[in-house]
Amino acid sequence: MALQDIKAALFHGVTSFIILKHIHARLFRYHLNQNHYLLNRVLKSAFHFNHPDYATYVFSQTYEPNIYLYNTMIRGLVSNDCFKQAIEFFHFMRKEGFLPNNFTFPFLLKSCSRNVDFGLGVKVHSLAVKMGLEDDVFVQTGLVGFYSKLESLDDAQKVFDEIPTKNVVSWAAIMSGYIGTGRFRDAVNLFRKSLEMDLRPDSYTLVRVLSACTQLGDLAAGEWIHKYAVDIGMGRNVFVNTCLVDMYAKCGSMEKARAVFEEIRERDIVTWGTMIQGYAANGLPKEALEIFHTMLKENLRPDCYVIVGVLSACARVGALELGEWAISMMDRDEFLYNPVMGTALVDMYAKCGKIDVAWEVFKGMKAKDLIIFNAIISGLAMTGHVKAAFSCFGLVEKCGFKPDENTFLGLLCGCTHAGLVDEGHRYFYGMSCLYSLPPAIEHYGSMVDLLARAGLLCEAQRLIDGMPLKANAIIWGALLGGCRLHKDTQLAEHVLKKLIELEPWNSGNYVLLSNIYSSNQKWNESENIRSIMHERGIQKVRGYSWIEIDGIVHEFLVGDTSHPMSDKIYKKLVEMAKELRAAGYVPTTEFVLFDVEEEEKEHFLSCHSEKLALAFGLIGSKPNTVIRIVKNLRVCGDCHTAIKLISKITGREIIVRDNNRFHHFIDGSCSCRDYW
């Protein structure tokens, strides 16, 4: 290789590290191994190929390095995340009598922030002032970034305010500081102010401010930034679009998230995972699973983030087979060593009624944290294994964890499930007395639910009246559910007034009171409730039920006829009705809202979504398999009675989950205490 070729290769790009080593060897042959200009190119190339050790060795062989070589070393080490070594080079440079310049300071300050070395950073700031570089935009921006990342926002703001000509990087640095300390609204306001200064943000700045909108749940601000990004030609930037998908998904706008997603030409696994997690988190499990199947058709292998979303969706609809198929795509050890994945797996098995498998996964976890303890406690509680949940609570502190609000929420849910009032009192009052955890609104909701279900309606009302928090719809809804169970119409009317004040748009409040009137044969009052709903344009929430057959999730609506096997399903319903009547079943028509003829009431009851799903399950599954159904609303008393009898007639084990409450039917009995 001729000398001219060596210089051309160094200045026009070296294609591999091996070629770089050959070029370096040639420099020795031509006695150019001490040429600072050429050595600088060698050092940069070595860092480019991620070989900081080689660059350090080359530098060590240099007899009289200059400031440019020192700067290249410090910058290269920082770019390779060798922050400690970068600081060591700075100290070595100072010992050799070299003063840093405006190119040295930004990378040195980055090393200080990454090493969390506040003292050195302040000394560097002082040195910059002594050298007269306090007005240099690069140095000032580096200082803003340093103080911001070490959460010294007052100092960061002072430096930022002193920058005479602020650039995009300066604004991004101070915004990142506010985001890092949880001051998301201030970050969004700073972004608006930067636009007023006629600055054009880069993709990094847009991503950061969109993340602030996500944390705030500020959909309006996110939409405005989206429009602005499109206006300035950033509408197709993959990083901005991925962040937009995440923002829309976490703000609950899955339609807009999907629209942005469809515009992304080259979607990576992160974008797919964001969509899957978004659908799962926003109560759209079928859509989450559909997009997962679409992703697989694109020949993309799922990562842990995708699998967590898929398992969450499977848990929601009780899709055990599909969940286990998704699990098979990952190494089993990833679940046992990754607490996030392990928690998702425990949750999926628990919500599919396989608590024994969930427990085995929990026991096998190599790395347990409080979150996975909470998952298994909640799983045990919701499936009726309340004593086991209490025992697991004892393990929490033995393993060195302090229980949190979610731990006690799981325990209280277990107490509610089993009707254990004394234990509920102990955990509810113990969380504040023994663990200094003031009960949140969710804990009050669980306690009111427990007392109301047990018929202690007066005590439940006293608890609400004495709350330090303002009772929300969940609290009053729990009390209203107890009123329905124990047919206390007078108290229910009082509670409903509170509920209508809080959420006048919620049909459930009206329907529940109407059902109470119906069960007491007060048809005029029931009709009046229906009239109010009609006048206000309030629609009753439709009942959905899901059932998985051969890895495919089927969805049924009340009175649904859209299923391809609808004729066979309704034929099966007729057969079931005959067998039920022969076994002594009489439809409990008090659960029908409308004041119509008894025969018509029975027709309404027979078309409930859980009965349609059950009929399909009896047709489409093998006789010895468990039938698992998930419903979005509470299972009505008539369906509960009918399913109990069907389990006895058919000899099938049937698991129905509604609102995270399990009804486990075996041979004509049920594990729950909802209808005692």
CATH of the domain at 504: 1.25.40.10
Last residue within a domain, chosen from 481, 511, 536: 536
Q: Does residue 148 form part of some domain?
A: no
For residue 556, the cross-strand partners are: 545
Q: Same domain for 558 and 640?
A: yes
In sequence order, the 6+-apart residues with CB closer than 8 A to the CB of 609 are 543, 544, 545, 556, 557, 558, 560, 631
Q: Within a domain: residue 676?
A: no
Give the rounded distance of the alpha carbon of 282 from its chain centre. 10
User: Do 583 and 595 meet the contact criterion of CB atoms below 8 Å apart?
Assistant: no
Q: Do 551 and 662 reside in the same domain of the chain?
A: yes
Asked if the structure places residue 80 within a domain, the reply is no
Question: Could you tell me how far CA 536 lies from the centroid of its own chain?
Answer: 35
What is each CA distance from 539 to 105, 433, 497, 525, in whole angstroms? 64, 44, 18, 18
What is the side-by-side order of every strand in the sheet holding 544-549? 552-557, 544-549, 627-631, 654-658, 661-666, 669-670
Same domain, 549 and 515: no
Direct distance between the N- and C-terminal alpha carbons of the chain, in angstroms, rounded to an integer: 91
Which one of 536, 563, 594 terminates a domain?
536
In-domain check, residue 613: yes
The residues near 381 (Cβ < 8 Å, ≥ 6 apart) are: 389, 410, 411, 413, 414, 417
106 inside domain: no
314 CB-near residues (< 8 Å, 6+ apart):
285, 289, 320, 322, 323, 326, 348, 352
On whether both 578 and 650 belong to a single domain, the answer is yes
The parent domain of residue 608 ranges over 545-670
- In eight-state DSSP terms, residue 297 is H
With beta carbons less than 8 A apart as the criterion, state whether 78 and 110 touch.
yes
CA angle 661, 666, 669 (to 5 degrees): 75
Check whether residue 574 and residue 663 sit in a common domain.
Answer: yes
The last residue of a domain, from among 514, 536, 558: 536
CB 108 within 8 A of CB 86: yes
Task: Establish if 454 belongs to a structural domain.
Answer: yes
Number of domains in the chain: 2
Query: Quick one: CA dihedral 201, 204, 208, 211, positive or negative?
Result: positive
Other beta carbons within 10 angstroms of residue 17's beta carbon come to 14
Residue 330 in domain: no
**Residues 451 and 473 occupy one common structural domain:** yes
Same domain, residue pair 529 and 551: no
Q: In sequence order, which residues have a C-beta less than 8 Å from that of residue 289 and are 6 or more positions away?
A: 310, 313, 314, 317, 319, 322, 553
d(CA 51, CA 492): 73
- Burial (CB < 10 A; 0-12, 13-18, 19+), residue 35, is middle
Encoded tokens for 361: 């996964």
DSSP assigned state of 513: H
Pairwise CA distance, residues 124 & 112, whole Å? 9
**What residues contact residue 585 under an 8 Å CB cut-off, 6+ apart?**
641, 642, 645
E-only strand ranges, 57-111: none
Are both 623 and 550 inside the same structural domain?
yes
Residue type for position 642? A
Q: Around Cβ 308, how many Cβ atoms within 10 Å?
A: 23
Assign 619 to helix, strand or coil: helix
Q: Report the pLDDT value the prediction gives residue 674, as an integer from 0 to 100.
A: 53
- Let me know whether 582 and 615 are in one domain: yes
Do residues 549 and 648 both lie within one domain?
yes
Blockwise average pLDDT, block size 10, the chain, 676 residues: 63 76 80 81 86 89 87 89 88 86 86 86 86 83 86 86 84 89 92 89 92 94 95 90 95 95 91 95 92 94 94 93 93 89 94 93 91 94 91 91 95 91 95 93 94 93 93 88 82 84 77 72 81 77 85 87 90 89 71 41 61 92 90 82 89 85 83 56
- Would you say how long the chain is, in residues? 676
Strand 661-666 to 669-670 pairing: antiparallel
Q: What is the model's pLDDT at position 244?
A: 96
Shared domain check, 530 and 469? yes
Q: Is residue 445 part of a domain?
A: yes
Residues 449 and 507 in one domain: yes
